[in-house]
A and B are shown apart, each in its own frame.
Chain A
Amino acid sequence: EVQLVESGGGLVQPGGSLRLSCAASGFTFSTYAMTWVRQAPGKGLEWVSSINLFGDNTFYADSVKGRFTISRDNSKNTLYLQMNSLKAEDTALYYCARGGLITATHYWGQGTLVTVSS
């Protein structure tokens, strides 16, 4: 069974940093692109970032480019999102998903909540 479990969310002040993790199991992690998607409270889905199989090709939404960094450790079956210079508008539930780039995102985690507030 495919499982994606996000962690690392929490309350952070504007300008602060957080690192999200997504632990993957039930599939061969190194053979799939991975993606982060967020959802602000009461709003729709917003793509944040995607990474290819090897981690050497990354893509970002304009809203996070230069502040967020996606990475992966295929030896640990884990996806990361380093978030710096956080703003109030980054407040959202952050989902990790399998796929992206040239495929749909077939499996999603349950999300981790990031709240940026003073």
Chain B
Amino acid sequence: DGGITQSPKYLFRKEGQNVTLSCEQNLNHDAMYWYRQDPGQGLRLIYYSQIVNDFQKGDIAEGYSVSREKKESFPLTVTSAQKNPTAFYLCASSLETGPSQPQHFGDGTRLSIL
């Protein structure tokens, strides 16, 4: 079955450490997205990518970095510059960016500070 796989499900970060969250899709979608969700709040866009080797900052990109070397993969690195990384991180994809394309979400990674 096609879908989006995020790993790990739970992740713990030590002070000063960079961590990378994995997101893989086999839906053959062009566009991919990373969102951050804090308790009781909506989804905030961190980065998105419309095609391979290209990505744009979202609303809260500071302290995060991404790469898009393959169509099916869009890893997110939470750097030590992100001082409050504890949150639920969701990866999504859509066939292409545009107003008529639904976004399909992975099951998320829950990141906490040790």
Are A and B genuine complex partners? no
